[in-house]
């Protein structure tokens, strides 16, 4: 179905693997378009409860963008490239009502770091490296890197990493809050799947509301508290709320239906 991706669905989780290992899984026009299509399936396939984005091989998650596509672009072309990526992929990941987790295996640089940061949270293998090296090319990040990195690790450290183009390892990324867990490479996908299986046992509508509320907070939405109250109230009208509270009182496991 795809030429640059591998996709499988396992126990309700769609695993999307960027499959250009000979190019360190670099993002190009085809990868962006196919990621957009795969994300549409995550949104629309009722069998899919969550997704994992990872890279093929052991060396790279995504080692950046395909620079060969840049040389022919002017100002308008560069802005159009970034806008297309944002609409097709990056914002679609961040705003997905189902959890999307980045499983970062190796280099996660430039557009790759931005792809990981668009995910709801991230796990990294011990050999992972993160960085935004765009200034080395006379560029800045264009897929949300200046915004999401600042939100995740704070202004001062984001300024340093963006301006120096320095890479950081997995342990430092965890210490800064860029990733939630660091695992051995062979444990990366199993651990990510384990966390998502736990999330699958929770109420899907409540999970989608959590994603929306947390994103609004990260965006600095001054109406976030009011929107939380609104969604809190809406939750009381769901079948899942009735099931969850009844199951708690009856001391049994809830069977949520996403209704």
**Which residues are marked as active site?**
114, 134
Cα–Cα distances in Å, from 125 out to 39, 60, 80, 90, 136? Answer: 24, 10, 33, 22, 26
CB-CB contact of 109 with 66 (8 Å):
no
* Antiparallel, parallel or unpaired: β 5-10 and 13-18: antiparallel
Alpha carbon distance 226, 13 (integer Å): 32
Maximal C-alpha separation, the chain: 65
Residue 109: beta bridge partners? 131
Alpha carbon distance 218, 120 (integer Å): 11
**Which tokens in the block code for residue 256?**
């949520």
Residue 121: beta bridge partners? 101
**Which tokens in the block code for residue 141?**
């990040």
Question: Would you say how long the chain is, in residues?
Answer: 259
**Which tokens in the block code for residue 130?**
């993160």
């Amino acid at each position: 179905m795809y030429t640059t991706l591998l996709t499988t669905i396992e126990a309700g989780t769609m695993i999307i693997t960027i499959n250009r290992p000979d190019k360190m899984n670099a993002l190009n026009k085809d990868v962006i378009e196919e990621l957009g299509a795969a994300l549409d399936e995550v949104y629309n396939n009722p069998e899919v409860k969550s997704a994992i984005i990872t890279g093929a091989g052991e060396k790279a998650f995504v080692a950046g963008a395909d620079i060969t596509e840049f040389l022919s672009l002017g100002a308008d072309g560069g802005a159009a490239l970034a806008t297309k990526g944002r609409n097709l992929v990056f914002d679609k990941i961040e705003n997905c009502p189902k959890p999307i987790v980045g499983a970062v295996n190796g280099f996660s640089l430039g557009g790759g770091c931005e792809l990981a940061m668009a995910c709801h949270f991230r796990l990294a293998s011990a050999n992972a490296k993160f960085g935004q090296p765009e200034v080395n090319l006379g560029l800045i990040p264009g897929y949300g890197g200046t915004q999401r990195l600042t939100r995740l690790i704070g202004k001062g450290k984001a300024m340093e990493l963006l301006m120096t183009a320095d890479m950081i390892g997995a342990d430092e990324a965890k210490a800064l809050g860029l990733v939630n867990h660091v695992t051995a490479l062979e444990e990366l996908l199993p651990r990510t799947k384990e966390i998502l299986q736990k999330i699958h046992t929770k109420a899907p509508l409540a999970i989608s509301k959590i994603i929306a509320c947390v994103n609004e907070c990260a965006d600095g939405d001054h109406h976030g508290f009011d929107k939380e109250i609104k969604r809190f109230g809406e939750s009381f009208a769901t079948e899942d709320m009735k099931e969850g509270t009844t199951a708690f009182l009856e001391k049994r496991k809830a069977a949520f239906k996403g209704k």
